[in-house]
Structure 1
């Protein structure tokens, strides 16, 4: 039986349903990466911690809604005894089980932002072919990128439990957010550098590509350069088709960084007025049990689970993953219906043109990049990518 004030139960149910939707998308994102044999990809790792974060939010919501009045009375007594403690201010008076759940979510936020940084660091040297001749350093970098964010977040949480940090709210706020903020700032810089390389490679490729034969002239032009002793084009341009052949690469990474950065900044801004709120509660004789207070608390849960949904929208809806969901999740009867409709449309094309007669490059571009999407979603060294036929043809045509 809920102890929420009258008129707020509908809000609580709506937010809880939204949280379950976020949990479903988190699980679906992880399943997609496991389906392509990429369970240790950086985005999959973000998905694991998004699941943990969303699950903790669901538990806290149910716990909070069920014991709303009792928790507020106990919280008031705890605030009166510890209102000068920065940890009490930062967690808005939560203690005990509620505080543990809040710490879990903070840990997840830090790890998720740092994994996004590790992904940007890994992607940045790919256009210049840095990892192609450095497989061992790449493995070491990947291991460090997987382990370091967890260790850094654990150190941050440990520092927040020390008395020296809890004496100052400003110091507590800095320690709690420094890793996340730095990760987002560095990610923005890396995204900018990736974008510059992307634009330069696109412009260079347009200048180098002959207008008469895009598929056969480029390899011949490259071989003539080698025979005459002239230097081949820079690897950033030669590898353009390997990682930068789809414009969505930069857009997806940029959207992910902007969303997580916005969330981190919003998280900091919402914590700034909490010191005044705690001082006000410490001087009150009874807790605020109004519907406005409850509704504000309920809406606050939305911001904590939205990043997990945003990550799925950014990385989980590419052409390759849509194809995986179509093949694995759609019932066979529905697939047969869609296949029959597709064959009917192909047979009625003007002039009887079939897909087999369309040039391979045009056919790949018209298929929403189902093969290319794996190039910017999973890691480049994935076995699933190496065996993908459309990707192999691009690599043979463009890579040096």
Structure 2
């Protein structure tokens, strides 16, 4: 069956569908990553499950609306005319039947995602302030975190059920409030947690800088915001940075979702006053664009949390052909040049160190590792042989005070 959409917007519809399918792939990859790294009950896992399901529901709605566009718009217009005061129709942009059920599910998913993010922010704040290191608070906070995950799933169900109460169905303000109360509370409380984390980070950063100036030494820390964070599975030392980016973008998404609801109220009011359904190209284009924000969190989740070193390596190992992986690890691809210039004396020391390594490796009985000749290079591991040859050439041909030192990939050769 051909799409009933106007021909002028068929390209837009295909583009939105492709965008949504790629988002579905991103969510699927995140679900695979969290299961592979034994993070199946983590906050990222919960977000991955919800984004996968919400994106899938959006794709179902798109196919339904695009294929039966004229029928859907006519049915929505007839219902809006018969129920002009229904807040359910207004805020869902006229959705009825299958579309309305899928809209309720996506509303639940967005609310649950927002709660997961805010409880995750609360958990990170505990780590930043080292609250879990205090014996009296540790057990209490662990229980709070467990309860928070359960509330993230249960509380949105309660609010969605309340939307079906008859009294709420008669009030647009009450319906709008209940539909977005979880999003607004999450945004407010999550912002407070992020501010607290930022304040702690700035305070600790200032102390580290001051201490480094006093001691005239650099401090290498494995902390963020002044407290030790344990990184495992899909996480890395940039966890707080990644989470901050995700929180900001998700906050924008939540605000955008509310704006689209207000736009739906306006469209529903217009439909109830029309003598026939609006099948114009402009309205069709607007309805298509309204599907874009829904799959967006899937991209965000993968870009922010699916690009850690652990995840990139796991994806490459799984999906890249074995021949590419072997080529990538071949020492003959070395050396790579850096932009840092070093004195010739450093190059001499580098050769001496590599010769010493080769001396012990080959088991030479010569009096000195300097006795290693070009013929004996055949017994030296390939990475050291490449480096010795390269450095020797650089010393003999360069007239500059500094030369380019190759950046060698670490070798496990023995």
**TM-score bracket for the superposition, by shorter chain length:** 0.7 to 0.9
Tell me which moved more, 35-44 or 105-114: 35-44
Distance 1:249 1:22 in 2: 22
Q: CA deviation at 1:143?
A: 2.3
Q: Which structure 2 residue ranges, 5 or more long, are not aligned? A: 358-414
Q: Taking structure 1 as reference, are residues 214 and 261 closer, same or farther at Cα in structure 2, changes over 3 Å only? A: closer
After TM superposition, the structure 1 = structure 2 runs for residues 70-149 of structure 1, keeping only pairs within 5 Å, are 70-132=71-133, 133=135, 136-149=139-152
Match of 1:321 in 2: 311
RMSD in angstroms over aligned alpha carbons?
Answer: 2.9
- Quote the residue 1:160 is aligned against: 163
SS of the aligned residue for 1:301 comes to coil
State how far apart, in whole Å, the 2-side matches of 1:241 and 1:91 are. 42
State the distance in 1 between where 2:301 and 2:334 align: 36
1:60 CA drift (Å) = 0.7
Alignment of 1:215-226 (within 5 A): none
Contact 1:2/1:66 (CA < 8 Å) preserved in 2? yes
TM-score of the two chains, using structure 2 as the length reference: 0.74
- 1:252 maps to 242
Range 127-136 or range 265-274, more displaced: 127-136
Deviation track 1:249-297 (CA, whole Å, cap 9, x = no partner) reads 3332222121111111112122224334223212222111112211111
8 Å contact from structure 1 (residues 201, 236) kept in 2: yes
Residue matched to 1:204: 207
Aligned to 1:182: 185
Partner of 1:22: 23
C-alpha contact (below 8 Å) 2:131/2:138 kept by paired residues: no
1:107 Cα deviation from its structure 2 partner: 0.5
d(CA) in 2 for partners of 1:103, 1:190: 29
Q: How many Å separate the matches in 1 of 2:36 and 2:256?
A: 34
Please say if residues 80 and 283 of structure 1, whose CA atoms lie closer than 8 Å, have aligned partners that are also in contact: yes
Equivalent residue in structure 1 for 2:198, among 195, 200, 214: 195
Equivalent residues of 2:197, 2:225 under 8 A apart: no
User: 1:307 and 2:297 equivalent?
Assistant: yes
**Cα distance, 1:342 vs structure 2:** 8.0
Asked if the contact 1:255–1:314 (Cα under 8 Å) also holds between the matched residues in 2, the reply is: yes
Give 1:311 shift.
1.9
Structure with the bigger RCO (C-alpha within 8 Å, sep 6+) is: 1
Describe the superposition over 1:333-362 as per-residue Cα deviations: whole angstroms up to 9, x where unpaired: 11111112686127999734999x9xxxxx
Task: Please give the residue correspondences for 1:200-349 in structure 2 after superposition, counting only pairs within 5 Å.
Answer: 200-208=203-211, 210-211=215-216, 237=226, 239-240=227-228, 248-340=238-330, 344-345=334-335
Residues 276 and 37 (structure 1), Cα distance of their counterparts in 2 relative to 1, 3 Å cut: closer
Rg bigger for which structure? Answer: 2
Contact 1:191 1:250 in 2 (8 A): no
Distance apart, 1:329 and its partner CA: 2.7
- Structure 1 unaligned spans of 5+: 219-234, 358-400
Q: What is the rounded CA distance, in whole Å, between the counterparts of 1:18 and 1:309 in structure 2?
A: 10
1:190-220 C-alpha deviation (Å, 9 max, x unpaired): 11111121222233234445445858xx9xx
The 1:98–1:47 alpha-carbon spacing in structure 2 relative to 1, beyond 3 Å, is: same
Higher strand share: 2
- Whether the 8 Å contact between 1:191 and 1:253 is mirrored in structure 2 is no
Query: Aligned partners of 2:332 and 2:204: how far apart in 1?
Result: 36
